[in-house]
Structure 1
């Protein structure tokens, strides 16, 4: 039986515990990063970042290393604990961004904001500024979010189904002109063949996503993953059973929503009801 490792202060942090185990297992085999890359099939730079705690990679790497080192489930479990750590929100979101760009179909439910893929520049800027971004960093993030829309503007865009709580359409921007532009953009995008937009009106009762935004991505390999978040928490969900439970909840919410045609009329009525901007 191998000796039990001492639990250090560092080891109690999920991300660093995962990195520590990777370094230890490689050292026991007497491998360089380049040698590990040769046998495991990933770049040595990837393993360097994993062992330094700069990234967590994906579950497929943890599973491959478990198989190579003969530690069934150990590294995958440590990876899952690290990903579940609330401090890893940005890491999970970065991985989600990579998967979104590869998705062949998408489904979204929004509690209080439209999905980033359907936000205008003015909406993006106000939302990010409300989160504390300023100056150059704000402009960089605005450009990055708007750049994601290329996914929907390709010659063969992936099918995208969106359910918006009525609260999304009531939570207006400070500028009436900017808000009119955002509502108009939603109505315009809802006409695209690849986009199906539903509105979930007030008064439909409680449901399982009442406080959670969620995006489902179907990937080229047939898997579906989900990213669920609220104002203080975000999680990339890849385990099949959990994704399936989330999707059943999403499906139930869709049954409560207006049809695409009724939803577009709903948005257009809101636009018609907005006061006209004063002439200059």
Structure 2
């Protein structure tokens, strides 16, 4: 077992976070168990985070900052830790999402990562590989923090009706996921449209893509393959995908009709009776 004293705080963001957490805890004259009790976590978890064997969450960091009087240090560090846990090919995309003022997404078969619930994300990430699933799920959910910024991006999602029926994680998980989508009905910055089966052939048949727009930098199109991501600022590609997105939005249901379809699917397929 790796001891905290052998950790190099410069080895990784996780090691640095653990080093600082231990320093703050000892300065407060608390054992790992005592700090865990204060935070409503186990002392074992505190120890695992201190030794960089477990990834801290934003919630853990906020509680620890409050308990240890660390003026938001751990909350500031946790974003760096979580980003370092992303696959190397995806880190640039996470940075683009964090900087974008407008995000336009088209998904052909599942809910976009920024809109996923914990159970849904866990089911997606657990296909073929369940190693470190808790940590990988926490890292994905942490990306949603971009919506909590003082100036969050405007997010438009056009989702194929297929994604409502693709039963990822089972009926209960799907009910929770669709309810999560409905929770954004009154949020003018997060807008969800469903592209219905009745549309037939459409401008997104080539596949899913994201379009990121920035105040001054060129817009970027992002597509994804197996274990790789492909961001590009090529003007022709951006122009083509922007046109495709305009057509997808025009073909999709309105925001209100999209919400009604989501409700109907919850009732008819997953047995959720809504008033």
Q: 1:216 and 1:194, CA in 2 relative to 1: closer, same or farther beyond 3 A?
A: same
Superposed CA RMSD: 1.9
**Are 1:135 and 2:131 counterparts?**
yes
Pairing 1:100-249 to 2, within 5 Å after superposition:
100-130=97-127, 132-136=128-132, 138-230=133-225, 234-249=229-244
d(CA) in 2 for partners of 1:110, 1:231: 15
Contact 2:89 2:228 in 1 (8 A): no
User: What's the CA shift string for 1:4-23, capped at 9, x where partnerless?
Assistant: xxxxxxxxxxxxxxxxxxxx
- Of 248, 254, 262 in structure 2, the residue corresponding to residue 253 of structure 1 is 248
Higher CA-based Rg:
1
Give unpaired runs (5+ residues) of structure 1: 1-89
Q: Could you tell me the TM-score, scaled by structure 2's length?
A: 0.63
State the match for 1:98 in structure 2: 95
d(CA) in 2 for partners of 1:174, 1:100: 26
d(CA) in 2 for partners of 1:111, 1:124: 16
**1:156 CA displacement:** 2.8
User: What's the CA shift string for 1:78-130, capped at 9, x where partnerless?
Assistant: xxxxxxxxxxxx65422111111111111000000111000000011110111
Give unpaired runs (5+ residues) of structure 2: 1-86
User: What's the CA shift string for 1:176-230, capped at 9, x where partnerless?
Assistant: 1111000100111233111111100002121232241111111232421011125
d(CA) in 2 for partners of 1:276, 1:204: 26
Pairing 1:254-269 to 2, within 5 Å after superposition:
254-269=249-264
